[in-house]
Structure 1
């Protein structure tokens, strides 16, 4: 019997969620322990109708099979695109031929020396003007920070500058303004579909915030496009 079998017992209605919540304060350590115990692959069964039936794997053979040798068999599908509708029809939500075409185009762009020089310049500037001052401030204040939030902001700022050629939006700075609404879209994975769809239709809760964030991004992109014409 596996040491984690009792902790991750699949209860009626609630699934394995109760055991996960008990150990949620050490979720990263728990994830490593579980994957080691279950031969690097584990199926998590969440509450009924929650959309939390998930397969986790760190087995290199499985990963190669899924993302390389048999990628076409593992389409994201319309449900994934609906959950991440804020990403549009880009490479992160595309499947089949569209994904292949976008991947080819991205590969050409990423391998271009001009792009690589631009990427290095923008990244270095963001490190010097954003990341280092923030870490210095946190060290002086003795404050705790969520590094995932920090590097999501870092990625957002550098990507926006690179794609649009605009000024740094400054989401990564000492003040750390609220700028994570799109990151919160992941909550749709753990909430029953009919609930977040109802929130979106009625315009309240997290969906209301996402709608505002989507409108803001659309407005910004429109301004960038107009400025380049």
Structure 2
């Protein structure tokens, strides 16, 4: 009700009555006073990724300008030279920015995906040790191998034998969740067990991500901020979900602190152990780290794998080639870490799958100074790219 009243105050319903938004609106979208392209944004809210991709492809420079209400303009680009300019060559110029930090703070806090500068550098430096070749090899040969052979494959084998329908995305989310928790925290949540236990954490995580993302799409931040102050609607659910998530993260942190104190019980030097051992004992800081890495490792991996297997199902000839390559490369001792490097066709298939269905299709940055992009487009300070 509150959101409807706020929209009324901006006269949006009248505009919708007169212009009747359609999801097949032509590109580039038409811009109106005050609301900019919001007419088209709203009409395509169920397919924003495809719609913005179309806008980029219809631009000669592969860079498009999106005019949001009240001057909240955006630059959207798929130009490889521009992407490199933003994410690599001028990394310090384009930061996550205050807008993104505020929107995601309730969920991610000051975790690595929601900070810039020294905070980001510190977390990245400590994280890099976990993603070294030696650590990844140990992860693949022990953690992933165990999760595959003792949980995932037996479950799928049983389902196939009994002709049982399974929700593959749910199964792969559980698989990814167990893996990232083991790798980053040396903690086994055991979500991928035959009973497929109902995890309140997983539901809370889904809700928190969805509501946090919806904040980006509101006509003005004032809407979700008022709802948060009044603790109503989606913001009330976000608060409840974040509370559940932080309780879970706090449980992991406390167990890790106890383990670090008793050095004889430490089995592996995981990510969380490094943070705790480095002297960072602030509960909020540590829980932010736990949540950020679950956020990074759960949905990205499961989304990539779900689309990959769906595409294999649609392309049986490709599936046959992959199976042929795998059977030809596996070592006699069953070790696959080195052999997968030689699986060129399988690697290419995974890359193509992620090109068609990117696990992370959008990455937003904020310009800290005026800049000129490699394609000649001008970006003003404070603009989100």
TM-score tier after normalising by the smaller chain length: 0.7 to 0.9
User: Match of 2:214, SS?
Assistant: helix
* CA RMSD of superposed structures (Å): 3.7
Is 2:217 aligned against 1:190? Answer: yes
Is 2:45 aligned against 1:15? Answer: no
Long gaps (5+) in structure 2: 1-24, 259-385
CA contact (8 A) 1:66 1:74 kept: yes
Q: How many residues align?
A: 221
- What's the counterpart of residue 213 of structure 1? 241
User: Match of 1:206, SS?
Assistant: helix
Bigger CA radius of gyration: 2
TM-score (norm 1): 0.75
Is 2:207 aligned against 1:181? Answer: yes
| Mean CA deviation greater in 62-71 or 108-117 | 108-117
- The structure showing larger relative contact order (alpha-carbon pairs under 8 Å, at least 6 residues apart) is 2
CA contact (8 A) 2:182 2:188 kept: yes
Long gaps (5+) in structure 1: none
Q: Distance in 2 between matches of 1:32 and 1:205?
A: 31
User: Match of 2:76, SS?
Assistant: strand
Q: 1:194 to 1:17 in 2, by over 3 A?
A: closer
Is 2:125 aligned against 1:97? Answer: no
CA displacement 1:71-125 (0-9 Å, x = unmatched): 1111222222111112121221121232233223222321151344225644455
Is 2:80 aligned against 1:60? Answer: yes
Q: 1:71 to 1:136 in 2, by over 3 A?
A: farther
User: Match of 1:98, SS?
Assistant: helix
User: Match of 2:74, SS?
Assistant: strand
Q: 1:93 to 1:26 in 2, by over 3 A?
A: closer
TM-score (norm 2): 0.48
User: Match of 1:15, SS?
Assistant: coil
CA contact (8 A) 1:119 1:162 kept: no
1:1-229 equivalences in 2 (<5 Å): 8-22=29-43, 27-38=48-59, 39-48=61-70, 53-85=73-105, 86-111=107-132, 113-118=134-139, 121-126=142-147, 129-130=151-152, 133=155, 155-168=176-189, 170=191, 178=203, 179-184=205-210, 185-191=212-218, 192-228=220-256, 229=258
CA contact (8 A) 2:65 2:75 kept: yes
Q: Distance in 1 between matches of 2:124 and 2:66?
A: 30
